[in-house]
Structures are given as C-alpha cells and as structure tokens.
Structure 1
Amino acid sequence: MLINPDNVSTMTFDWGSIKWFVTPSLVPGASSTLGEVIVNPGQGHARHNHPDAEEILYVISGEAGQMVDDAEPFPIREGDTVHIPRGVFHSTHNTTWRPLRLIVTYTPGGEEKALEGAPDYHLHEPGQVPHWHQP
C-alpha cells in the first residue's frame, strides 16, 4: 500500500505538526504507528508519556534538546535515533531557528489518538495547508 503525504490529514498544535502515515485506524491490519513530526523553531511539546507503547524518534533534519526519563536533556540532530521505553516520560524542544523534522513510531500503534485531546489540537483535511501562529 502506497501512502502519499498529500493524501493524509495534518494535526497541528502550537508547537508544530504531525502527519500519521500508518496507524491501526488508517491502515487495515497495521499494528504500529509511523508518522512525520515537525517541531517549529523555538517550540517543543510538554513532558508526557505513553503508558502502553514504546516510541522511537529518528531525526530527519534539525537539532533539539531531548529529555528522556526526567534526565538532563541531551542534544539530538540529523541521523540520530532515540528509543523511549513504554511509560517513560519525555519531551523534545527545538532550540534553533530551523524546523526539526522527525520520523516517529509507536509500538503497538494507537497512541496517536491521545493527541486529539490536546487543547491546541487542530485537524486539517488532506490537501489543506495549515498556518501557524506563535502562541
């Protein structure tokens, strides 16, 4: 099955955006989740965890500070991979002027549904180009 980014909806938040390409609810038989996350310059997401799934981050481009398990944040950059075990608290903060692009996976899939409850969540239909406003 080919999935084109132009045919996938976009989630936006004050800190950036996400396109989920594979999720259990979008792809019949899928048991994991994979998507692209963009963290806007100077932004980041709040400390949180996924009690029922591990997460893997792969940095496509950009740089950020990554916190895992409430330890001191460490730098991540293009080509780095971060494994976040099930239930471990983490956060990502882009401290640069360039967007941070990540490939993100959840195993098992489904954790992406929790993002729909965020107060700054907006869903843009496929083909719509979102516009961001600094919070």
Structure 2
Amino acid sequence: MHIRPDDVDTVSFGWGTIKWFVTPTSVEGAATTQGEVVILPGQGHERHHHPGAEELIYVVSGEAEQTVGDGAPFTIREGDAVHIPAGTFHSTFNRTWRQLRLVVTYSPGGEERALEAAPDFQRHDPGTGPQWERSGTTDTAVVT
C-alpha cells in the first residue's frame, strides 16, 4: 500500500502536528502505528507514557531535549533513534528555532487514539492543515 501525506488527515496541537500514515484502524492488517511528528520551535509535549505500547522515535531533522524514564535529559538530533519501552514516561522539547521532524512508531499500534483526548487536539482533512499564529508576547502557538 502506498500512502501519500496529502491523502491522510493532519492532527494538530499547540505544540505541532502529526500525520499518522499507518494505524491499525486505517490500514487493514496493520499491527503498528507510524507517522511523522513536527514539533514547533520552543514547543514540546509534557511527560507522558503509553501503557500498552513501546515507542520508537527517529529524528529526521532538527534537535530536541529528550527524557526517557527517570534518566537525565539528553539531546537528540538528525539521525538519532530513541527506544521508549511500554509504560515508560518520556517527553520531547524542541528548544531550538527550527522545526523538529520525527518519525514515530508505536508497537503495537493504537496508542495514537489516546491523543484525541488532549484539550488542544484538532483534526484537519487530508490536503489541509492548521494555520499558526503567535499569541500575545509569548511564543505559544495558537491553531486557527
């Protein structure tokens, strides 16, 4: 099956966007989830965990501060991979001025559905995406 970015929904949050290319609900027979995550400059996601799935992060471009479990934060950059065991708390923060692009895989798939409960979750139809604005004097992104 060939999947093009413009053929799948984009989901957005205050910190960035995700395109889930393969999920168990979108591709018949798929056991994993894989997508591209874009984290905006100065943004990131808070410490969280996926109780039922491990996560693999591959850094396509950019640089970020990563945490895994109780370990000290470390820098990830283009070409790096991070394995996060199931149930392990983790976070990713883009502390730079460039967008951070990641390929993320959940195994088994399905954990992406939990993101739909986030208060800033928005779904955008294929071929469309969010419009970003700056809010006040802060660097917080506002999706419109």
Using the TM superposition, name which of 17-26 and 121-130 deviates more: 121-130
Q: Match of 1:102?
A: 102
Q: Match of 2:26?
A: 26
| In 2, Cα distance between equivalents of 1:4 and 1:41 | 25
Please give the root-mean-square deviation of Cα atoms over the aligned residues, in Å.
0.7
After superposition, give the CA deviation of every residue in 1:39-67 in whole Å (9 maximum; x if it has no partner): 00000001000000000000000000000
What is the TM-score of this pair, normalised by structure 1?
0.98
The aligned runs of 1:2-17 (5 Å cut-off) are: 2-17=2-17
Q: Match of 1:62?
A: 62
- Paired amino acid for 2:36: E
- Paired amino acid for 2:117: G
Q: Match of 2:83?
A: 83
Pairwise CA distance, 1:130: 1.4
After superposition, give the CA deviation of every residue in 1:3-22 in whole Å (9 maximum; x if it has no partner): 00000000000000000000
- Structure 1 unaligned spans of 5+: none
- Paired amino acid for 2:109: G
Using the TM superposition, name which of 68-77 and 49-58 deviates more: 68-77
| In 1, Cα distance between equivalents of 2:40 and 2:70 | 22
Pairwise CA distance, 1:125: 0.4
1:73 partnered with 2:50: no
Using the TM superposition, name which of 97-106 and 70-79 deviates more: 70-79
Pairwise CA distance, 1:82: 0.1
| In 1, Cα distance between equivalents of 2:50 and 2:106 | 9
Aligned-residue sequence identity (percent) comes to: 64
What is the TM-score of this pair, normalised by structure 2?
0.92
Q: Match of 2:117?
A: 117
| In 2, Cα distance between equivalents of 1:64 and 1:97 | 11
| In 1, Cα distance between equivalents of 2:115 and 2:91 | 14
Pairwise CA distance, 1:132: 2.0
Aligned to 2:132, the other structure's residue is in SS state coil
Q: Match of 2:137?
A: none
